[in-house]
Amino acid sequence: MEITLTTQNFENEVLKSEKPVLVDFWATWCGPCMRQAPIVEELAAEGYSVGKVDVDQQPALAQQYGVMSIPTLIVFKNGKEDSRVVGLTAKSDLIRLLGE
């Protein structure tokens, strides 16, 4: 299951996580984001740590991480941004980013 991220739980779930975490910034009105959703859902089902930020609900998080285009996918490792991709991204590419 993906974690619904908010300003309250972001630090605990993402920055303090021992595993790499994939964070998907999305919104309901964005077509490409809706196509991205089943892909990150699969990753979560396969055991990867995946969090989702609804930019409509959490504009502060989007602003803090400089998200200006969605979907934006950021991989956090050891509490730091490790890599980010903008636009719909294939599952294999995300696995590569999580694994590196």
Q: 85 vs 3, 9, 12, 59, 64, CA distance in Å?
A: 19, 23, 23, 19, 16
Stretch that binds other proteins, among 3-11, 12-20, 26-34, 40-48 (CB under 8 A): 26-34
Across-strand partners of 52? 4, 24
Strand 72-77, strand 3-4: pairing: unpaired
Stretch that binds other proteins, among 8-16, 44-52, 69-77 (CB under 8 A): 69-77
42 counts as binding other proteins under rule CB under 8 A: no
Point out which residues bind other proteins (CB under 8 A). 27, 29-36, 55-56, 62, 66-70, 72, 84, 86-88, 90
The set of catalytic residues is: 30, 33
